[in-house]
A and B are shown apart, each in its own frame.
Chain A
């Protein structure tokens, strides 16, 4: 699909419609929506921003590419003065006191904030059913889950309610819902986009990234939100993604895929066949394809969840209803903490906090947490070795098809295992793009750290041979 951002930009400049009219149409869609994809509609902010763009156009002033483009924001990002609930009861009425760096950069570029989008509570989930705002429904088939945790963001883009959305990806939360709703979703290299103002889930793998309908739009948004930020000391300097490089044919690129992801009993037969058909297309186009050995899915999932739970138990320990949040009073401060947390966290969030505190406690930390850290180092070293052999690694997004609503939350262990193909790249802090083709739930294109341009270029080639 062509760039929606460029198309709307041209229409605004040509005065085919006003920015206010565009925003009003999108606001109506967001309010009436049948997918439960939105927690708060930012009507006042959006109309105010749109009016400014219209004044500039009316005065004959030049506007930037993102100026007047409506976008959505996963409800885990701070936007000053708006509710930021993390889809939880605890923070349902919490107002952001400041604005996240990535969002501020988009606002500075003139993009129009439309909505805070429904998601799994605190990012804890793979279906966007773990939310106090009601399960998000899939944009392609409403009987299916939207995916998670950035489910509302993926659905809003797929349904044309927003032109792009900003999601968050800790273990697959952008890539998997992008695949489930047949759009693009990029998990950038860890640190490429500042995490300042993102409500922390697992700080060592949390990333900020776009969901959009075209590769060009992913690149446009990335070029605006990337960059080093003094407010996030893990952020890194990055180079611009050049549109002309992304549009050109990749030359001399070696491609790999993990044999054990494909040769196992857990993968759905159709997803396996479709993935291998894509590999054949890559070979037919003249690229060398290598089979690679990698860690088994059980080890990847267990390592990721062990570390993510430990980090989330620590990050969410600050949520006790003292300074903010839905405090529930009890007989003393300690009991107030306990009652507030017991009543305001969802079952899945409590499961992850308890699991995290288990692995961090005496007697468990050596056998589980520290061993998990060892495994992570080995996984990172294996990626480094693989990217000395190949430039691109292809993989399915999920082992199975999109689940029906209600199937996921009842079996948490199965939910964790469904993240088998996404969590490894999170542990490796590698850039990975989901493309909406190749298998029913899409295909992932991964590169070495900071190789976003390379993966977008290869994805563009894959799109052309579909």
Chain B
């Protein structure tokens, strides 16, 4: 079995294929020269461990729960309905 997954499957979009406009952007990146030394920069955007949010479950308000249920595309007896479970 091929390991290459086509972009329509990857994107879950029927008939999707690469576009000329976007490919032109990628060509610029492929051909760009980079300074190999830049990779040793620190990961400046990393979040400090002291800033991490407490790992606790917070209960949503009743109004939030009600709206989430209103947003269900298909609902039966308060449960979310999906069409079929994917097999294997």
Contact = CB atoms under 8 A, between A and B. Distances in A.
Interface of A: 80-81, 94-98, 204, 230-231, 233-234, 298-299, 301-303, 305-306, 309, 313, 317, 320-327, 329-334, 336-339, 341-342, 345, 350-355, 357-359, 361-364, 367-368, 371-372, 374-375, 377-378, 380-381, 411-413, 416
B17 to A, nearest CB: 7
Contacts of A416: 21, 25
B13 A353 contact: yes
B18 interface: yes
Contact of A323 (B29, B72, B83): B72
B29 A368 contact: yes
Task: Give the 6 A-B residue pairs with the shortest CB-CB distance, closest first.
Answer: A327-B73, A302-B28, A324-B71, A355-B22, A413-B21, A412-B21
Contact of B34 (A230, A320, A339, A374): A374
Contacts of B4: 362-363
A176 to B, nearest CB: 18
Contacts of B34: 371, 374-375, 378
23 contacts: A80-B63, A81-B63, A298-B28, A302-B25, A302-B32, A303-B29, A323-B80, A324-B73, A327-B74, A331-B84, A333-B85, A338-B14, A342-B14, A345-B13, A352-B22, A354-B11, A354-B17, A355-B19, A358-B7, A368-B26, A374-B39, A378-B34, A413-B24
Given A345-B13, A381-B41, A231 B53 contact: yes
Contacts of B57: none
Contacts of A372: 29
A465 B13 CA distance: 53
A377 B82 contact: no
Given A230-B53, A324-B73, A334-B86, A354 B19 contact: yes
Contacts of B71: 94-95, 97, 323-325
Contacts of B86: 332-334
Nearest to A309: B22
Contacts of B52: 233
B64 interface: yes
Contacts of A322: 73, 80, 82
Contacts of B16: 342, 350, 353-354
B38 to A, nearest CB: 5
A298 B26 CA distance: 11
B27 to A, nearest CB: 8
> Chain B CB within 10 Å — which of A325, A337, A357 has the most?
A357
A302 B45 contact: no
Question: Chain B contact residues: over half helix, strand or loop, or mixed?
Answer: loop
B76 interface: no
Given A98-B64, A321-B73, 16 more contacts: A81-B63, A98-B60, A298-B28, A302-B26, A305-B22, A306-B25, A329-B83, A332-B83, A338-B12, A354-B7, A364-B26, A368-B29, A374-B38, A378-B38, A380-B41, A411-B21
Contacts of B7: 354, 357-358, 361
Contacts of B5: 361
B1 interface: no
A400 B28 CA distance: 22
Contacts of A357: 7, 10-11
A234 B67 CA distance: 27
Nearest to A412: B21
Contacts of B25: 301-302, 305-306, 355, 413, 416
B67 A320 contact: no
B18 A355 contact: yes
A364 B29 CA distance: 11
A339 B29 CA distance: 32
B19 A371 contact: no
Nearest to A233: B47
B55 interface: no
B59 interface: no
Nearest to B85: A333
A321 B81 CA distance: 11
Contacts of A339: 14
Contacts of B64: 80, 97-98
A381 B13 contact: no
A233 B53 contact: yes
A183 B25 CA distance: 31
A362 B13 contact: no
B13 A412 contact: no
B11 A341 contact: yes
A361 B10 contact: yes
A377 B41 contact: yes
